[in-house]
Chain A
Amino acid sequence: MPENLTAPLVVAFPFTRSLGPVQSAFLTGLRERTVLGVRTRDGRVLVPPVEYDPVTAEEIRDLVEVGTTGTVTTWAWNPAPRHRQPLRTPFAWALVRLDGADTALLHALDAPHARAVRTGMRVRIRWAAHREGAITDIACFEPYDGTATATAGATPHGGAFADPVTTLTTPARLDYTYAPGRAQTRYLHALAGRRILGERCPSCRRVCVPPRGACPTCGVATAEHVEVGPRGTVTTFCVVNIKAKGLDIDVPYVYAHIALDGADLALHARIGGIPYDEVRMGMRVEPVWTDDSRHPDHYRPAPEPDAAYDTYKELL
């Protein structure tokens, strides 16, 4: 059993989201060091604000300004901050009910150690030096022993600011270690030796290439390894007329389904070494390997007559 292959896999996605009137006002407010909440019909003030009443689902737009000081309602010490979290040094996650609000907002609380944190303690916002209209415009909370800020209650606010923020871009990156599994590991190891390995289904006897450890028709494990190819037959193809970004291949070119000799599933690859308008169903092809490649770069015509339709019609 060769060593199981793994490869790093990075998924990065910079989502851009529309904010809507309430979230736009709230996040623009943070940029201007103003905290807005929204009042429900029954008079509760929600901070951070939402667009719909969480109980009645009624649309709510009645913005109010609340204080920048508040009270910790629950907390958790975070001894080992992760790199995208708000603070580099150990801190407490805290739900903070700002003065004038009836609900709590999650953020970091900068405290020297866990003993310095307790439920009910008074805190105030520490604003980020650079603010752009995001929850991270609040750098964190910090302990505060003064009196409540002037806006102790919730005061009506029109929510209007110059140059309001209307979208939020939230970059996210997740790092994975991709493991292709045992069957594909065997397949990739064989490819490195320029051999193409399939697996035969114990039930229907068909050979799957590339193998994935199970017969997709029968739903049973495949284990018997079968070397297929290297030559094969074009079962069907298409002409590509649009140049893919970053791909150094001139258009038009042909992309084809190829049934390798001995395989019962067609795989797909580019056809080269022949004008695009001369490729045909039944054409016999062979792989072309380049020096540094772990897989065939493309397939080219093999010096033999075309295969009869009946020999590959089941593989279309």
Chain B
Amino acid sequence: MTPRDVAVVAFARSGHHEPADGLSEAEMLLPVLHDALDQAGLAPGEADFTCSGSSDYLAGRPFSFTLALDGVGAWPPIAESHVEMDGAWALYEAWVKILTGQAGTALVYAHGKPSSGDLRDVLTRQLDPYYLAPLWPDPACLAALQTRALLDAGLIDEAALLTDEAAPVPSADGHPSGTPHAPGARAATDGAAAVVLAAGATARRMCTRPAWIRGIDHRIESHALGLRDLTDSPSTRLAAERAGAFDAPVDTAELHTADAAQEAVLRRALRLDGTVTVNPSGGTPATDPVMAAGLIRLGEAAARIHRGASDRALAHATSGPCLQQNLVAVLEGEPAGHPGAEPEGART
């Protein structure tokens, strides 16, 4: 049996919310869900499968995702799942659900309100609880360890970093050469994102130019930073290989990074040369809402295909310190004039 063709047919994201907006997660999410559902012509509760990504550690409450369900029309009961991860991994689960024939359409969403707590503390709780978490190393400092390793290896230079908005700031004692410190220290904002996935003919009906998912894979590396080569990302390379990213050139790449140094690591692992347009969405992944930032990269890549601005795009999402876990998706649009109208059943 030929696997079903599955596409991203709609994408929506919120603006960057301020804590002063006083919104609950459900209130923040609702307009975004409706935007994505409207694009696909779906009513709330109508998607065959719903999957979300968020984190109780951001909200400070157990099962916090259940309140967000108020926004999706979950009664009468819907088929629903949740990952305590970035929404990119929720998209992966929904993609598998559709591939296995258990659903024809899926709503995927993610939301994060990092302003509820202090990310510098919260993100230490995802680290190895025996050797790392008791030291409370904040994420910016861990990212700076990676930047320093890349500088030492000559894979990036300080001049390049300093021209980047995310450049390491000079240390407090005025160290002149820009000691790597605190890339990614810019505060992440609150927000949400949603996409709709659909299979075959349904996707064609919902979207003029669906972004067909040609492959997705995600891989993880050790939780022990000292075991890893921080100048490389073998998990990204393997995920890209398994997603088919190297089978043909891509014209666009949306990368989920905290800073310019991480982008350098990914460019090498993904073999992106000067011909590839990187992050054309103008996105600022470092300030995108935590838990939605990766899904936003996938959504932005898909939206570019929807608009006809890309024919083959790579989207990347990451999780954990120093690019510990990485997801790579390859999306394609069909050439203009592609018949594309064959019934879904004809492909099986």
Residues on A close to B: CB < 8 A?
4-6, 9, 11, 15, 17, 19, 23, 27, 46-48, 50, 54, 73-80, 82, 84-86, 90, 93, 95, 97, 103-108, 113-115, 119, 134-136, 168, 170, 172, 174-185, 212-221
A95–B33 Cα distance when bound, in Å, is 43
B181 touches A82 (CB 8 A): no
Within 8 A of A (CB), among B142-187: 142, 144-149, 152, 171-173, 175, 179-181
B23 touches A218 (CB 8 A): no
Chain A interface main SS type: mixed
B145 touches A75 (CB 8 A): yes
Q: A79-B181, A135-B131 are in contact. Are A103 and B227 (CB under 8 A)?
A: yes
Instruction: Return chain B residues, CB-CB under 8 Å to A185.
Output: 22
**7 closest cross-chain pairs (CB), A and B:** A181-B24, A219-B73, A4-B22, A219-B44, A79-B172, A76-B144, A104-B226
Q: In the complex, which of the residues A179, A183, A219 contacts B74, with contact meaning CB atoms closer than 8 Å?
A: A219
Q: In the complex, which of the residues B24, B141, B172 contacts A180, with contact meaning CB atoms closer than 8 Å?
A: B24
Instruction: Return chain B residues, CB-CB under 8 Å to A220.
Output: 30, 34, 44, 73
Instruction: Return chain B residues, CB-CB under 8 Å to A75.
Output: 145, 148
B117 touches A176 (CB 8 A): yes
B49 smallest CB distance to A (angstroms): 15
Count of A-B contacts judged by CB separation below 8 Å: 209
B27 within 8 A of A: yes
Q: A19-B130, A79-B181, A218-B73 are in contact. Are A174 and B24 (CB under 8 A)?
A: no
Instruction: Return chain A residues, CB-CB under 8 Å to B175.
Output: 77, 113-115
B251 within 8 A of A: no
B66 smallest CB distance to A (angstroms): 10
A75–B150 Cα distance when bound, in Å, is 11
B71 touches A74 (CB 8 A): no
Q: A85-B136, A93-B137, A219-B73 are in contact. Are A76 and B130 (CB under 8 A)?
A: no
A214 smallest CB distance to B (angstroms): 4
Instruction: Return chain A residues, CB-CB under 8 Å to B19.
Output: 177, 179
A214 touches B26 (CB 8 A): yes
Q: Mark B106-118, 1 if CB is under 8 A from A, else 0.
A: 0000000101111
B129 touches A17 (CB 8 A): yes
Q: In the complex, which of the residues A27, A73, A106 contacts B132, with contact meaning CB atoms closer than 8 Å?
A: A106
B110 smallest CB distance to A (angstroms): 17
Q: A79-B172, A179-B116 are in contact. Are A48 and B224 (CB under 8 A)?
A: yes
A113–B71 Cα distance when bound, in Å, is 51
A182 touches B226 (CB 8 A): no
B30 touches A174 (CB 8 A): no
Instruction: Return chain B residues, CB-CB under 8 Å to A176.
Output: 59-60, 116-117
Q: Give the nearest-CB partner of A96 in chain B.
A: B226
* Listed residue (A27, A170, A174) with the most chain B CB atoms within 10 angstroms of its CB: A174
B6 smallest CB distance to A (angstroms): 23
Given contacts A73-B226, A218-B44, 13 further A-B contacts (CB under 8 A): A15-B129, A48-B130, A76-B179, A77-B171, A77-B175, A79-B172, A105-B226, A114-B175, A170-B129, A172-B133, A183-B24, A183-B27, A216-B73
Q: In the complex, which of the residues B69, B181, B222 contacts A78, with contact meaning CB atoms closer than 8 Å?
A: B181
A262 smallest CB distance to B (angstroms): 20
